[in-house]
Amino acid sequence: MGGGRTGDYNLRVEVIGKGISAPAPANAFSYKIVVNSVSPVTGTLGGGYTLTINGANFATAPGSTNVFIGDGMNSICKIVTVTSTKIECTVPQMNDEYLPGDKQTVLVTGRIIEESLCEGTCIFTYSGTGTIKLKELAIT
């Protein structure tokens, strides 16, 4: 169900015209997008390198998965490859809303903008080394 809607579901099995249901909790399952680990856990301010995210239930259809480093604007990690259990993305330069050394949660969203749950190491930190490209300002 990679990329499906997260939540708790009850199952119903049809056997040739006869409905068979099991009592709760045997008929229930929970579906969630999970991040187990990110690697590397630190990187330079300028970005441009690959972040690998391991977990479960990532959506594999093009455009169905997004990765965010922290909650600042323009903190989207550009997807390079994605399977249901592994994402590789290109880390953006550090957002100007962050300070070097601030820990940022790596968040994966699915097709329906469902947020991932962290069940391991999900923190990334921009280090104080490297360079940041300055934005060009137009004065009119």
Q: Which residue has the higher pLDDT, 8 or 120?
A: 120
User: Residue 95 in contact with residue 119, Cβ under 8 Å?
Assistant: no
**3-class SS at 62?**
coil
Q: Has residue 83 been placed in a domain? A: yes
Q: Has residue 89 been placed in a domain? A: yes
In terms of residue numbers, what domain contains 116? Answer: 33-126
Q: What is the mean pLDDT of residues 9-23?
A: 60
Q: What is the mean pLDDT of residues 62-90?
A: 89
Q: Has residue 136 been placed in a domain? A: no
Structure token digits, residue 67: 């990765």
Q: Has residue 132 been placed in a domain? A: no
pLDDT digits (tens, 9 = 90+) for 86-95: 999 999 999 8
* Number of domains composing the chain: 1
Q: Considering the entire predicted model, what is its pTM?
A: 0.69
